[in-house]
Each structure stands twice: as structure tokens, then as C-alpha cells.
Chain A
Amino acid sequence: MENSFAEQGRWRDIDNLLSRPGNIVGPGFEPSPQLRQEIGEFARVLVVGAGGLGCELLKDLALSGFPNIDVIDMDTIEISNLNRQFLFRLQDVGKSKAEVAAKRVMERVSGVNITPHFCRIEDKEINFYNDFNIIVLGLDSIEARSYINSVACTFLEFDSEDNPIPETIKAMVDGGTEGFKGHARVILPGMTPCFECTIWLFPPQVKYPLCTLAETPRTPAHCIEYAHLIKWSEVHSGKAFDPDDPEHMQWVYTQALKRAELFGIAGVTYSLTQGVVKNIIPAIASTNAIISATCALEALKLVSGCSKTLSNYMTYNGVVGTHIKVADFVRETDCLVCGPGTLIDLDISTTLSQFIEILGQHPKLLVMKSSITHRGTNLYMQSPPILEEMTRPNLHLPLHELMGGVPDDTIHASGMAVRDGKKTSCLRKLRVKFKGLPDGTTEMGTTSVCKELEPDLN
């Protein structure tokens, strides 16, 4: 532990906020000169993504009094990151973003400990995410946001009146940017809308009808997508297109150019080809800074209560003038992800494998290849092979028996679902209720607090 007097001087400005009382503060704010240190001892923050937002977030959180931070990112550093991802230098190209970002921040902000995780978010066990008090998302894809959101929502439990149990709420702060625009939001599963409740906020990705690409191209993008989606597989049978291979990109560009010439269409460039094929979102340092700062401040407010929190969705638009708007969205009470869970009635004789089949056909769920977990116990795992083999014998056993004979309970299924024609990982909470039990038992022991999952906010 460092000299606390000196540290106090160092954190003077933030300590004013944490040690002095105010009347416009969050619920449960207990100002004290020790509050920063207390937060430091209990608060663990996970930053998801170490890119444009992630670099800023790590800096902002480290300088907001969070000494224990983890960061997860599967990507490596590219030259085109350097116009905004200020923790990286030219000589870092090719290295892990999470590792370099963690190292740089620790070098500059003494006393801060950042643990990098150089892997996919799906590679971590679900319980890895339960170790954090707050999860801050700096991502650029809907799929990744959706996955983390569903993971955070699996920790949420409801009491017998379907009210969320406060200790099980895993707070999330999410940021996103595109050019001069961005958003920041606070998600308290069960209290405020989760990512899935307001999925309509994200417009679907532009897709061109295949017949336009094949028969009536009009724009340079049509020519590029023809080369990318149709011509590539015609010519390179079986060889997958790799957007990160410059030779592949060059080939698509050349073909697109040929097609454009054939149809008299102007405007195909190499840069546009990359933009269309990789769906590049323009990004600048200033917008990432604005949005990350908002997210970090909200994270500080959530753990300390030192001010009110954003309720619950802020947008920033600097294209024409500067416009900041806050919208207070409402939860979907029957949300598949943050609600109490989709109710599924089962016969007591239903086996685990029949149950998995039901999930794939259930019109609201359509989850394929599910792995099933009940109260922290793996009932069936699709992978890795060793776990699959271990849990395989369960498949032909009745689910009712595997769940310890309870009349109803919550169960988690993780598998693949199709969104926008793309397969994505998903996690669903289900409420299983058994039919055909002897009278009286169905009324007993409804949802009880899950023992495996410790309350996370003290």
C-alpha cells in the first residue's frame, strides 16, 4: 500500500466529490474520506474491448479511482488504429490490444492494476463475468454487445413477485461511436432496458438483394459486393475469403473494377472496396473520448453514488452543431433476456435431449445446439470434447430428475441463434415447469436464491 497521505493529495479532485455530502446524489451515497479507498478494495471493473473506446476507458477509469480493472479483447493492433487508439505505437502493430493497453496504462498510472485477457469473449466461462461489479462495453458490434448483455442478465434473479433481486443486478455501461456521433447508456438488468429490449435502436446492416448484384448493378458498392459475394466463390471453389489478406482484397477490387467498367459505373476505389467488404465504420479520437468519458463517469457514479446516474440513454451528435439528448427508455417486461425467463412447460418424463430439441423448435427461442446449465451445474456441454463426453450420459435422463426433482426452476441454455441471417452465440434464461406431478408439490419452493452465485455489490 502506498503512502496514504501522499495518495490523498494525488486524488484531491476526485476525493472532494467522494468525501463531501451533496443533495443531488445517488441512492446510498455515503461520503467519507475513505470512500475512494473502499471502492478500490471492493470494486472490480471489466472493460470489454481495447479499441478506440477501450483505450480511452482504461485511462478514464484508472484516473477515476478504480485500481482493479480487467480488459478483454481478441484483436491485435493494426496501423489504422493509430489515429485514435492512443495507447498503441507503430512498433506495437501485431501485438495483443488488451496486453499492450493494460501495460501502457499501468506504466503511467502508478498503483493501478490491469489484467488483460487476450481472447474471445465467448472463450471465458460465464462465471468469469460474475466476478465484476460493473462491466463497461467499448465494442463496435451488435453481436458482442448482445452476448455480454445476455451473460450479465443470466446472473439476474427475481423474487416470488417477479421483482429483480438487487444483489443480483450486474450493472453495465455501454458506449458506441460512428464518426461524429455516439451513444452512452447505463443498463441495470431488471431495472432499465437491457440491450435486447431496445435492439431496434440499431438499424439493420445494409444488404443488397442478390438479384441486384447479379443483374442490375448501379452503384460501385454493388460491383464490389458482386466480386466479394458471388465471383469469389465461383472462381476460388472452397477457398474462404479472408478480408485481412491484402491479396484477397486486391482481387475483389480488380474484379469490381472490371464489372464497373462493363456496366459504365464510376467510383470503385480500393478504399471503398475495403469499406464495403469489411463494413468499416469511420472513427475518430474525439468522439471516442467524449463517449468513453461519459461511460467512465457513469461507472464511478454507479459504484459510489456520488451523483445521480444517467437514466438511461444518451446520444451525442456533432455533425450539425452539437446535440446531446437523454432518453429514458422503458424495459420490455417480457424480454427474453432480462425478463424472468421464457416459461416452458414440460412433462416430467421429458429427457434432456428432448428438451434440447424443444429449444431448437420453440418459436420464440430457436436456439440450436444448446449446452444446458442448472444452478451452476453443467447438465450437458456441447464442447470442449472432454466435457461433452462427461455430460453425454445425461442426455437420455429425464430433465426433472437431473434438476433434483423440483417442480419448477430457472435453467440456462447457451447455443447458436440466427440474427440477420448470421449465426451468433446466445444465452437464454428459461423457466421450466413440470406437468404431471402429484398434487400440492407445484405450489412449493418456487424461485429461491441461487446459492452458487454470490451477491456482487456490497
Chain B
Amino acid sequence: MSKQSSLPIALPKTRMEWVKVMVTVPRPSAEALAVHNRQEKLKILEDNVQQHRQTLIQWIADQGLAPEVANIGAPTNLGVFFVKCTPHVAQELQHAPGVADVLLADDCAINPLHN
């Protein structure tokens, strides 16, 4: 998966502000997974995202960015996890190894669709 720059150029500059981003990692293709059953797919995807997450945690520490990271969420079977960090770190994550995409994921209004 190619890395895309998905974050806006102008993020708040204040270092104390936190944002929530969704980090997407490279994953096996659907074709590669197709030969496995659901249980096996879960294991493969879980191991994959866990590995990338660990790599990212190490990179954050190596870059001295840990003070600007509030939390790194648990890995999910969907090949993503969430990071609460400063806007500065959110920008930097786009250049981290093993990161396919970084998307803004703050909460927003939704409408249950009844009248």
C-alpha cells in the first residue's frame, strides 16, 4: 500500500493540543488471505498490525516524540490502530516506517436515522 499524505497542511500549531488519528499499516492482500479461513485471517492480521505497532512505538521513542504521544490504542483486526498525540507528531507519523496512512479521527456528529 502506498503512503498517502492525508492530513491537512495547516494543523493547530499549539503543542498542547491533542488530536486523534487512525494509523493504517500495510497488510497482506486480500488475495493472499483468501486461502485462509476466518480464524487464520484474524491471526495473520492481528500479528501483522501488532508487529507494525511495535515498530512504530520504537520509532516514536527513537525520535524523542514520546512526550507528545498521550496514548497508542490497541491493535485491531482491521489493520488499524489509533494514536492520541500532538498535531506535530501526527504530521511526523506520516514518515514513520511501516505506516501506510494517517487519518484524522476525532469524534463528530452522527445522526441515527429515525424521525
Do the two chains belong together in a single complex?
A: no
